[in-house]
Structure 1
Amino acid sequence: MDRLAIRSTPSESPAILLLALDGELDVLNVGKLSDTVVDALEAGRRHLLVDLTGVTWCDVGSLHTLLGMRHAAIHAGGSLSLTGASDCVHEALDRVRLRGLLPFVERRGRPGDAR
């Protein structure tokens, strides 16, 4: 059984992609998200907005991987921002003090705006 579902929703701009996550984000399945992010960047989607509303579990390793993905997006001339995190994500961010390094935007915002 797949514990993490990723829905990709293109925006009006070809450079922006929304990735909505549902389920558990942990070391066992964060590679699936990494592959999705790499594919998006290679396809020219430079600005990624990762919606964490549906995440029911998040471990520390996944947060560090998200930070690495953000650095990769910036290196490619883009951005990676988060939106809609559940309580478990906020607790994990606070525990490892990454909140300031992983920017959050309003769902209505554009991911390229929060750099």
Structure 2
Amino acid sequence: MPAESNVPGGSANGQGQWESERQLWSAAPAEDRDGVVLLTLTGELDLAAAEDLDRLLGESLDSGREGLVVDMTGVSFCDSSCLNALLGAARRARAAGAGFALVAVSPAVVRPITALNLGQLLPMTGSVPEAVELVRTR
């Protein structure tokens, strides 16, 4: 299903691909899943990616949907600057009355969130359908 025009990332034809200068991470064009924006990230999320990630998360939240699910199953590294961008997006979502959830199964993502006791601020599930349901029933 092609993404609607106000979903960040453009259409399903691959336009809107986000990559840092070093191209260690990317974000697929955002999708609409039952009124929730699904943003799929892959690669290494480090300081070089943080600013673009923060902007992309903000655009996704501004799309007027019920909330945001960030699929991080393809993320192999996530540093504190990108965790901070995710925390900022979660706060913005709550302030706007929208839901926010991560799909995270990789130890590179789960471990720092768990170690820093951020699970309540950054709720995690093991699958996209679970995360969409969590966001829709917030």
Instruction: Settle same-fold status: TM greater than 0.5.
Output: yes
- The one-character-per-residue Cα deviations of 1:4-55 (angstroms, maximum 9, x if unpaired) are 1011342253x31111110111222022221112212222134110011111
Aligned length: 114
TM-score by length of 2: 0.71
Q: Tell me how far apart the structure 1 counterparts of residues 121 and 75 of structure 2 sit (CA, whole Å).
A: 19
Q: In the TM superposition, what is the alpha-carbon distance from 1:72 to its structure 2 partner?
A: 0.5
Greater Cα radius of gyration, structure 1 or 2: 2
Q: Tell me how far apart the structure 1 counterparts of residues 72 and 47 of structure 2 sit (CA, whole Å).
A: 16
SS in 2 for 1:34: helix
- The equivalent of 1:18 in structure 2 is 38
Amino-acid identity (%):
30
SS in 1 for 2:102: strand
Change beyond 3 A, Cα 1:96–1:12? closer
Change beyond 3 A, Cα 1:44–1:3? same
Residue 55 (1) aligns with residue 93 (2): no
TM-score by length of 1: 0.84
Structure with bigger RCO (C-alpha 8 Å, 6+ apart): 1
- The equivalent of 1:5 in structure 2 is 26
Moved over 6 A (4+): none
The root-mean-square deviation of aligned C-alpha atoms, in Å, is 1.9
Query: Which stretches in structure 2 are left out of the alignment for 5+ residues?
Result: 1-21
